[in-house]
Structure 1
Amino acid sequence: MDHLVRRKWLVLLKPLLSLSLVFASLLMIQKLKVAEKDGAGLKHGSEADWCGSQCFSFKKRVVKQRSPGSESSVLSDGQDAQRVANGTPAAWDAQLLNCSQDASVRSQDWFRRLDPRFHQFVLHRHCRYFPMLINHPEKCADGDAHLLMVVKSVIEQHDRRDAVRRTWGREHTAGGRKIITLFLLGSPATGKDAKNLQKLIEYEDRIYGDILQWDFMDTFFNLTLKEVNFLRWFDIYCAGVQFIFKGDDDVFVNTGNLLELIAFKVEERRDATLFVGDTISKAIPIRNRQSKYYIPKELYDKPYPAYVGGGGFLMSSQLARRLFVVSENLELYPIDDVFLGMCLQKLQLAPEMHPGFRTFGITKRRVSPMNSEPCFYRNLIVVHKLSARELLRMWSVVHDDHLISQADTHV
C-alpha cells in the first residue's frame, strides 16, 4: 500500500516540478534582462496569419516625435526634408488594417491551373510592407557607417547568429571604416511555439541590439518580403551608409577581402552602381515539382534576368536606393534572388561576377579536400553552406598567423 501511495505522489509531483522550473526560468530571464536600446520599438502582435498579425498601409509624410537620439533625430534636416519631398516617411509609420485576399485573381484561368502551393502567395502578394516588431533606427544615427552587414536569419537559428557575431559579423572599426551588423527576421510560422519564440528573440535583441523583425511569417516564399522591407527601412534610417553586404547566416565572409574589394572599386570610381556576387546568367525557371525553387509556367514563363546567389553579395548604397524605388513598381516574386535581378533589369543594369563569391560552396562534392582547406577561405570573400561550428572553426584557422597552406608544403 505504501508503495502505491508513493507512486501516486510521484505522478503528481512531476508536473508540479516542471511548472516550478518553467516559472523559475521566466523569473531568471526577467532579472537578467538589460535595458532596451534607445529608439528600439517593440510591439506585440496577435496570433499570426499568412502575413503576420495584420498587414498595413503607409500614412504619407507622418513624422513621429521622439526623444533625442531616437527615430526623429536619426536623419539630418536636409536628409529628412528630402525623404518627405519624395513621399517617403521619416519613420516606419505602419497603420494596421486587414490585408484581405485579392479575390479578383480567383476568377482568372491561369490561377485555376496554378499549383495550389502558390495560391496564398499570389492572393497576398499585394501585401508588401509590414509592421515592425523590433526596430533599431539608431544603428546608423551617427552617419559614420562605412559597411552595413545585413544577415537573413530565422528565430530558431540562434547558434548561427551567435557564430556570425563572433566572426565576420562582429561590429568594429577597421582602418577607420566602421562596420555594423543587422539580422533580418520575420515571425515564427504557424504550428511553432510562437509566443515563447517571440519572447526569446526579444530577449536576444536586448542583449545584442542588432535585430530587425517584421510581422510576417518567416517562410521561403516570404524571403522577398525581407528584401523589400529592408530596402525601405534602409531608405528611411540608414541612407548614409556607403556599402551594404547582404547574406545568409550560414556563410563565411572574409571581411578583410571584402573591404579590399570596396577600396578597389572606390579607387577605380566604379562604386556608384556596384552590385557584385556569384552571378547566374541565362537561367530558366525550374519545372521540377520536387525542387525547392520550383516555379510553375502559370507564374513565370520566360528566362530569368541575370541575378546573384542570395548567399552573399555586395552593393553600393546609391544603387540600393534605386533598387528600393524600382522595387515598389514590381510584382513580388517568390524567389528573392531572382526578384532583385528583375529590379536590376528594370534599371538596365547587370550584376558583376566575382570569383571570390562562392554562394554555392567551393565544390559540389562535400567530401572534397578543397572544402576544408583554409587557404581557399583566406583568398575568397564569401563561401556558402557552413554550419555554426564549421564557421567558428574555419574563422579561427584562417586568422591563424601561422597558417601554412597545403600548396606551401609541396615546394
Structure 2
Amino acid sequence: MDHFYRRKRVGLLKPLLSLSLVFASFLMIHKLKVAEKDGVGLKRAWDAGWCGSRCSPLKKGAVKTRSDSPAAGYVADAPRVSNVTPAFWDAQVLNCSEDASVRTNDWFRRLDPRFHQFVLHRHCRYFPMLINHPEKCADGEVHLLMVVKSVIEQHDRREAVRKTWGHEHTADGKKIKTLFLLGSPTTGKDTKNLQKLIEYEDMIYGDILQWDFMDTFFNLTLKEVNFLKWFDIFCPGVRFIFKGDDDVFVNTHNLLQLIGFKEEERKDAELFVGDTISKAIPIRNRQSKYYIPKELYDKPYPPYAGGGGFLMSSQLARRLFVVSEDLELYPIDDVFLGMCLQKLRLAPEIHPGFRTFGITRRKVSPMNSEPCFYRNLIVVHKLSAQELLRMWSVVHNDELVCAQRTSM
C-alpha cells in the first residue's frame, strides 16, 4: 500500500476541527455575521422536510467555490445553451411548489402520510449548490473518484474516511480524488451553526459538495441525480466512480485491481458492479426504514446494487444521468439506480468482494471483525468511525499473517 500524502496547506488546522465542533463553531462566529450581511443566509421558502435553507434566487457568489476554479465568479442567471452541457451549475433558482393536482387522486388519499411530501414534490429534481468544487476533476486526469454520501453531523465518519480509504493520493500513476455529498440540515436543528461548521470543514479539506435540499432519507435519491448532473458537467476526464456510504470499509488496493482486470478484459465501458440484489420486492412492514406502500410501487424491483458501495464507469454514469431525467424519482436511492439501469437494458454485476450487509448478516458473528477477510474483500458495511480506523490499521499492518487468500 502506497504512503498517502496530505496537502501542506492543511497544516495545524486539522487538529482544530477534530478537537471540538463547539470550538469550531466559536471560530466561525465572525464569518457567520459577515455571511449574513452578504445575503448568504436566505429565507427558507417552504418547510416541508424537502427544500433547504436557501430555496430562492441565489446571488452571484453564493455558491462556495475555490477561487482558482473555472466556475468561480460565474453569472448565476447566464442562459443555458440548448443541447450543450453547461460549464457551470445551472440550477441557480428554485421555484418548486407542490404539485397540487396530485391531491385529487384517490390513491394519494390512501397513501401513508409520511410519503405525502415526497410525492407532492418529486418533480423537484435539481437544486442550487451551497458548496461546489468544480476544480476537483480539473487537475489532470482522475482515474478514480471516491464519492461518499454523508450528512453534516457525521464529521467523525468523514474524518475516518479521509484518514483511510478516502485519502487522496496517486497509486501507480493513477490519481484518486474524494468528494462528500451533503444536503442541508433538517428542520429543528441549529441550521446556521451547522452550516458554518460544514463551511469551515470544507475550508480545511476542500472535498464537500452541498446542495440546498434537506438531508433526509427520502432525499437520498436527490443526491444521486444531483451528483450525476454535477459529474456530467465538471468531470470529463474521470475514468471510474466508486460511490458509497461514510460507514463502510473500502480496500482501495483491491478496488484498483478490480478496475485493472476489467480494463484488461475490455469490460469497463458498461461497468456497474457491487453487492447486487435480485428478485427483491417492496417491503410492506410499516416499521421498516425501507417501507413502501402499494400506492407508491406495486411490482418487483429490478436488480440493483446495494447503496453501501458500488463501482461504475464514467461512460455509464453519463448514460445514467440521461435516462434518470425521464424517470420519476423513487424514495430509495439504490433501487432508483436499478430502475435507471433497467431503462438502459443493463443489470449490475454481482461481485463477492462487495459485502454491503457485512461479511455475514449475523451481526454478532466474529467473522465480521476478522481482518483477514477485510484484506481480501473490497467493500464491507458497516463500521463506526472508530472501528474503521482500527480495522484499517490492522489490515495494513505488515505483521498481520493470514492463512490463505480467499477467492475474489
Shorter-chain TM band:
0.7 to 0.9
In 2, the alpha carbon distance for the partners of 1:247 and 1:373 equals 22
Aligned counterparts, 1:339-378, within 5 A: 339-378=336-375
Q: Which residue of 1 aligns with 2:213?
A: 216
Q: Secondary structure at the match of 2:143?
A: strand
In 2, the alpha carbon distance for the partners of 1:24 and 1:333 equals 39
Q: Is 2:51 the counterpart of 1:51?
A: yes
Higher helix share: 1
Q: Which residue of 2 aligns with 1:4?
A: none
TM-score (norm 2): 0.84
| One of 281, 286, 289 as aligned partner of 2:286 | 289
In 1, the alpha carbon distance for the partners of 2:201 and 2:23 equals 19
Q: Secondary structure at the match of 1:129?
A: coil
For residue 331 of structure 2, what is the amino acid of its counterpart? P
Once the two structures are superposed, residues 274-308 of structure 1 have per-residue CA deviations (whole angstroms, 9 ceiling, x without a partner) of 00000000000000101000000000000000000
1:341 positional shift = 0.1
| One of 284, 287, 301 as aligned partner of 2:298 | 301
Q: Which residue of 2 aligns with 1:113?
A: 110
Q: Is 2:209 the counterpart of 1:191?
A: no
In 1, the alpha carbon distance for the partners of 2:168 and 2:30 equals 27
Structure-2 change in CA distance of 1:310 and 1:43 (3 Å): farther
- Asked whether the 8 Å contact 1:84–1:90 carries over to 2, the reply is no
Aligned counterparts, 1:167-182, within 5 A: 167-182=164-179
In 2, the alpha carbon distance for the partners of 1:160 and 1:87 equals 38
Structure-2 change in CA distance of 1:99 and 1:28 (3 Å): closer
In 2, the alpha carbon distance for the partners of 1:157 and 1:264 equals 34
Q: Is 2:81 the counterpart of 1:92?
A: no
In 2, the alpha carbon distance for the partners of 1:272 and 1:334 equals 28
- Asked whether the 8 Å contact 2:282–2:301 carries over to 1, the reply is yes
Larger Rg: 1
My pick for the range that moved more, 46-55 or 198-207, is: 46-55
Q: How many corresponding residue pairs?
A: 365
Structure-2 change in CA distance of 1:84 and 1:264 (3 Å): farther
Q: Which residue of 2 aligns with 1:312?
A: 309
In 2, the alpha carbon distance for the partners of 1:317 and 1:154 equals 25
My pick for the range that moved more, 367-376 or 172-181, is: 367-376
For residue 52 of structure 1, what is the amino acid of its counterpart? G
Q: Is 2:271 the counterpart of 1:274?
A: yes
- Asked whether the 8 Å contact 2:354–2:379 carries over to 1, the reply is yes
Structure-2 change in CA distance of 1:266 and 1:56 (3 Å): farther
Structure-2 change in CA distance of 1:108 and 1:333 (3 Å): same
1:374 positional shift = 0.5
Q: Which residue of 2 aligns with 1:324?
A: 321
- Asked whether the 8 Å contact 1:278–1:354 carries over to 2, the reply is yes
In 2, the alpha carbon distance for the partners of 1:321 and 1:205 equals 27
Structure-2 change in CA distance of 1:407 and 1:318 (3 Å): closer
For residue 339 of structure 1, what is the amino acid of its counterpart? F
Q: Is 2:144 the counterpart of 1:143?
A: no
In 1, the alpha carbon distance for the partners of 2:213 and 2:43 equals 12
Once the two structures are superposed, residues 164-215 of structure 1 have per-residue CA deviations (whole angstroms, 9 ceiling, x without a partner) of 0000000000000000000000000001111110010000000000000000
In 2, the alpha carbon distance for the partners of 1:149 and 1:43 equals 29
Q: Is 2:70 the counterpart of 1:71?
A: yes
In 2, the alpha carbon distance for the partners of 1:264 and 1:24 equals 47
In 2, the alpha carbon distance for the partners of 1:227 and 1:152 equals 9
TM-score (norm 1): 0.83
In 2, the alpha carbon distance for the partners of 1:24 and 1:158 equals 14
| One of 131, 152, 175 as aligned partner of 2:149 | 152
1:29 positional shift = 4.7
- Asked whether the 8 Å contact 1:45–1:215 carries over to 2, the reply is no
1:354 positional shift = 0.1
- Asked whether the 8 Å contact 2:179–2:209 carries over to 1, the reply is yes
Q: Which residue of 1 aligns with 2:159?
A: 162
Q: Which residue of 1 aligns with 2:233?
A: 236
In 1, the alpha carbon distance for the partners of 2:23 and 2:399 equals 47
1:69 positional shift = 4.0
Q: Secondary structure at the match of 1:278?
A: strand
1:71 positional shift = 2.5
Once the two structures are superposed, residues 205-243 of structure 1 have per-residue CA deviations (whole angstroms, 9 ceiling, x without a partner) of 000000000000000000000000000000000121000
For residue 220 of structure 2, what is the amino acid of its counterpart? L
Aligned counterparts, 1:117-132, within 5 A: 117-132=114-129
Structure-2 change in CA distance of 1:226 and 1:395 (3 Å): same
1:88 positional shift = 2.7
